[in-house]
Structure 1
C-alpha cells in the first residue's frame, strides 16, 4: 500500500517511481525483482522506497492497482460512446487492445499474475480485475436488455462471464506470441478481422432478434 509520503510526492516523481517498479516487475517477475535495481535506476536510497510502500509486496500491489486505474479512463469513454450495446462492446475491446499495445509492460505484469500461481496476493489481484470487469460490463448489458437490443431471457451473470473471458482470450492471442503463435505478427487489418469475427459471434449469441428466432 502506498503511504502518505508517496502521495505527497510531486506527480512526476510518483510516475518515475512507478515506472521503475513496472520495468523491474515486467522484466523479472515478482520473486526475481530487485529493490536494489529499482533504487539504482531512480537514484534514491532503498529506505525511501520502503518508506513509500512498506514492503516489496506493497510496491507490487501499488503497481497492479496503478495498471487497473490507467485502463479505467479509456473503458469509461467506450461505455459512454454513441451506438448500441454491440458498438460499445466493440469499442471496449478495441480500447483494451490499444491499452495493451501502449503499455506492454503493464500487460506483461498482468499475465505474470494470471499464469504464475506463486505471485503474492494473486487471488486478491485477479478478484479485483474480474470484479472490475463485472462492474463495467453488467450495467452495459443490463441497458442493452432494457433497450431491447439483447435477449430478455439472457442469463446476465453468465453473459458477463463469457464476454469478459472472450475479450481476455482474444487480447492474449493478438498480443502474446506464445498464446497463439500463428497470430504473431499479424497485420492491423487481420487484427480487426479477428475482432469482427468475435463480435459477430457475440452478437449472434446475445442479440434480441436471435433469441426470438430460437424461441
Structure 2
C-alpha cells in the first residue's frame, strides 16, 4: 500500500506519477514493466518510487485493487441519479461500457491482470478485482431488492447471475459485433467509437430486460 510520503506529495506530482504508472503497466506485462521507466517519465529519481511503495508488486497491486476501481466508481457515479431501479441498473451497465471507451488504459490494466502468469501474487490480483466488482454490484442489486423491484431470495446467487450477464456475456456480444478481440478494442480508437452512446444504451436496455425477466417481481399464479 502507498506510504504516507506518497499521500503527502503535491497533487500534481502524485497524479503525474500515478498516470505514468498506469501507462507503463497498461502497455507492458507485469514482468516487462519497469519502475525505472515510470520514474523517468514522471521526472523523479527511481529511489523515490521506493519511498512511495514497497516494490513493483506493491504499486501494481494498489493500481489494480484501489486506484483503477476508485476511478471507475467515480466515473459511473457521475451519471445523474435515476428514480427507478431498473433505469439505474441500465445506467450502471451503460457507464461500465463507457468507461471502457473513454478510459481504455485503465481497462487494459485490469484486463492484463487476467493474463496467465507463473507469478502467484499477480494471479491472485485478478480474482481480487472480480470479487470487488461482485461486492459493488451486490450493493446495486440490494437497492432493488429493498425497493421491491427485484425478486431475489438469495442475493448472492442473483449477483453472480447478473455479473455473468453484464460481464463476460455482454463483453462477448460487443466483441462479436465489433469482430475483434478485447485487446484489439482497447488499443483501437476507431473500434471503441463504434460502441457509441446509442449502441451502449441499446445493449444496456437489452441486458436489463433479460435480467428483469428472471429477477423481476414474482408473478402470482392465476
TM range (shorter): 0.7 to 0.9
Structure 2 counterpart of 1:196, from 195, 205, 212: 205
Aligned-partner Cα distance in 2 for 1:103–1:119? 27
TM-score by length of 1: 0.83
Question: Matched residues in 1 for 2:33 and 2:201: separation?
Answer: 36
CA distance in 2, matches of 1:12, 1:196: 39
Q: Which residue of structure 1 aligns with residue 155 of structure 2?
A: 156
**Alignment TM-score, normalising by the size of structure 2:** 0.81
2:216 aligned with 1:207, yes or no?
Answer: yes
Unaligned runs of 5+ in 2: 186-190
Distance between the aligned counterparts of 1:180 and 1:212, measured in 2? 43
Name the CA distance, whole Å, in 1 between partners of 2:108 and 2:86: 28
Report the equivalent of 1:97: 97
Let me know the Cα RMSD of the aligned residues.
Answer: 2.9
Shift of 1:27: 0.4
Structure 1 pair 156–113 and aligned structure 2 pair: CA distance change class (3 A): same
Equivalent residues of 2:85, 2:149 under 8 A apart? yes
Does structure 2 retain, via aligned residues, the 8 Å contact 1:96–1:171?
A: no
Q: Deviations over 1:77-113 (max 9, x none)?
A: 56x8232221111111122122222211111010011
* Structure-2 change in CA distance of 1:3 and 1:178 (3 Å): same
The change in CA–CA distance for 1:35 and 1:124 in structure 2 (over 3 A counts) is: same
Per chain length, whose mean CA-contact separation is higher, i.e. which structure has more relative contact order (CA < 8 Å, sep 6+)? 2
Aligned length: 210
Deviation at 1:124, TM superposition (A): 4.3
Q: Tell me how far apart the structure 2 counterparts of residues 23 and 181 of structure 1 sit (CA, whole Å).
A: 17
| CA deviation after TM superposition for structure 1 residue 195, in Å | 2.2
- Residues of 2 paired with 1:112 and 1:180: CA distance? 9
